[in-house]
Structure 1
Amino acid sequence: MQFNVRGQAVYAYTGGQTFDASKPCVVFLHGALNDHSVWTLLARWFAHHGHSVLALDQPGHCRSAGPLLPNVEALADWTWAALDALGVQQASLVGHSMGSLIALAAAGQAPQRATALVMVGTAYPMVVSDALLQAARDTPAQGMAMVNNLAISSTATKPGFPGPGSWLHGGGLQLMARVQASNTAANVFEHDFKVCGAYAGGMEAAAAVTCPAHLVLGDVDQMTPPKATKALAAALRARVHRVPGGHSQMQEQPEATLAAIRAALGA
């Protein structure tokens, strides 16, 4: 679905159903150098089980136009602007990695509008190494390979896993390359990872959150290890769900991740 936010075209995947603002809304927020497609399975399930769904492409990513926004707070504010454009007053916010920080900031900015907060593959602070930022700037292809190896827990995942015709490592690289190529005006890779590392408002946002909060964490996540969520989970009084696998949970463990998010949202 295409619509306009602040004069710019925005794309949201609606799970194969016509968007209906009168239904309970679930907003899915993708991570760094990703787009809406990482949420396909989850978006379709919720769209076909009584919810309206928006899996957004963030500004400057793939099908959403406009400049890249400078920080997590601006992306959170933009998320509420997108909901305003569609007449949505309240929503559950589900974010992965960078998207989890955006969801947290959004829930803190407008606690009366967030009905649930689900942070998938998250950490706070979300530390990004200087080596990765340098690779993102100078040798993006090598940096993407680095991210891919860290994000997927198994180095031996074969074509056909988790389903026929799929290949996690190849698919991950292709997605990142496609997102990077979608914006000819900026380096999306470097921008997104800088945004993650620079976010310093997590505890203040957590203190303002009033809705139920959940963390969905990969047992062997190397990018956002579960131990890095202890203080955040306590501040949010969050329920923690554990999923076997690494950072790319939705691709590596799609059924387990869906089950965890269903439990979080009571669906």
Structure 2
Amino acid sequence: MELQVNGHKTFVYTGGKPFDAAKPSVVFIHGVLNDHSVWILQSRWFAHHGWNVLAIDLPGHCRSEGPPPASVEDAADFVLALLDAAGIEKAALIGHSFGSLIALEAAARAPQRVSHLALVGTAYPMVVSPALLQSSLEAPEKAIAMVNTFSHSLLAPPPSSLGPGTWLYGGSRALMRRVLASNPQVNVFHTGFKACNDYANGEAAIAAVQCPVLFLLGEADQMTPPRAAQALAKKAPQAQVVTVKAGHALMSEAPDAVLFALRDFVIGTR
């Protein structure tokens, strides 16, 4: 489905079901150099179990137009504008990595519009090493290889994710290359990493959140290790912390565990 958000075409995946703003809604927000497809299992499950799903491509990424957000704050404003464009008064926000910071900031800016907040593979501060930040600008292929090495603890997925013979590491690299190539005007790799690294409003944002919060973390995550979310989790209202056996690529390495944690959180706390 396509929506006009801030004057630009925005692509949202609805999980294979027609959009219906009258249903309870959930928004899935991807991380750096990803798109809506990283949520394929989770978004389809919610769509086929009575939920209105919006799994987005962020602006300037793949099928969405407009300038890519240069900051977490800009991206949060986009998410709230997306809710307006879709006619959704209130939604659950689920974000991975960069997307988790975007969801957090959006929930802080408009707490009355967010029913649940799920922070997947999150950390605060979300520090990006100077070497990786520089490589994302000057040698993106090298940086993509580095990120995938740090993001994966498995090489092949369990049966419920994708299909037999799928190579997680190679598939993720291919996706990141495709997302990078989708915007020849702006390096969305460096832009996204810099936005993560620069974000300094996490503690103030979590204090403003008024809904239940889930921290869904990978125990083998080297990009955003679980310990890097502890300080934020202690400050979160109504916080739950769930750790699964996975690296940073939680949705593909532990698809069922991620789905069940999100299901139990969003549906169990309605």
Instruction: Name 2:122's counterpart in structure 1.
Output: 122
**CA distance in structure 1 between the aligned counterparts of 2:211 and 2:29, rounded to whole angstroms:** 18
Aligned residue pairs, count = 265
Contact 1:14 1:53 in 2 (8 A): yes
- Name the counterpart of 1:144: 144
Query: Cα deviations across residues 45-71 of structure 1 (Å, max 9, x unaligned)?
Result: 000001000000000000000111221
Equivalent pair of 1:115/1:212 in contact (CA under 8 Å): yes
Q: 1:5-154, aligned counterparts within 5 Å?
A: 5-154=5-154
Q: Offset at 1:3?
A: 1.4
Distance 2:245 2:158 in 1: 19
Q: How big is each residue's C-alpha offset from its partner over 1:68-110, in whole Å with a ceiling of 9 and x where there is no partner?
A: 1221011101101011011100000000000000000000000
**Residue type matched to 2:216 in 1?**
V
User: Secondary structure at 2:9's aligned position in 1?
Assistant: strand
For normalisation by structure 1, the TM-score amounts to 0.97
Q: Is the 2:95–2:103 Cα contact (8 Å) retained in structure 1?
A: yes
Amino acid across the alignment from 1:24: P
CA distance, structure 2, for counterparts of residue 159 and residue 52 of structure 1: 27
User: Aligned partners of 2:88, 2:157: CA distance in 1, in Å?
Assistant: 40
Does structure 1 retain, via aligned residues, the 8 Å contact 2:119–2:214? yes
Alignment correspondent of 2:243: 242
Q: Which moved more, 1:235-244 or 1:118-127?
A: 235-244
Deviation string, structure 1 residues 31-52 (Cα, Å, up to 9, x no partner) = 0110000011100000000100
Q: Secondary structure of 2:95's partner?
A: strand
Any idea what SS the aligned residue of 1:100 has? Answer: helix
Unaligned runs of 5+ in 1: none
TM-score (norm 2): 0.96
Aligned to 2:187: 187
1:6 Cα deviation after fit: 1.4
Residue number in structure 1 paired with 2:168: 168
Counterpart-to-counterpart distance in 1, 2:157 and 2:19: 34
Work out whether residues 157 and 252 of structure 2, in 8 Å CA contact, stay in contact via their aligned partners in 1.
no
Deviation at 1:160, TM superposition (A): 8.1
In structure 2, the CA distance between the partners of 1:87 and 1:159, relative to structure 1 (3 Å rule), is closer
Aligned pairs for 1:213-252 (under 5 A) are 213-237=213-237, 238-252=239-253
Q: Is the 8 A contact 2:168 2:252 kept in 1?
A: yes
Structure 2 unaligned runs (5+)?
Answer: none
**2:200 & 2:50 partners in 1: Cα distance?**
36
Contact 1:160 / 1:166 at 8 angstroms: preserved in 2?
A: no
Q: Secondary structure at the match of 1:112?
A: helix
Measure, in 2, the Cα distance between the counterparts of 1:160 and 1:172.
15
Query: Is residue 152–residue 247 contact of structure 2 (8 Å, CA) maintained in 1?
Result: yes
RMSD: 1.2
Instruction: Report deviation, 1:158.
Output: 4.3
CA distance in structure 1 between the partners assigned to 2:158 and 2:170 by the alignment: 11
Q: Distance in 1 between matches of 2:18 and 2:220?
A: 37
| 1:160 and 1:167 in contact (8 A); partners too | no
Paired-residue identity, %: 55
**Shift in Å, 1:159:** 8.0
After the TM superposition, which parts of structure 1 deviate over 6 Å for at least 4 consecutive aligned residues?
Answer: none
8 A Cα contact 2:156 2:165, kept in partner? no
Equivalent residue for 1:256? Answer: 257
CA contact (8 A) 1:221 1:247 kept: yes
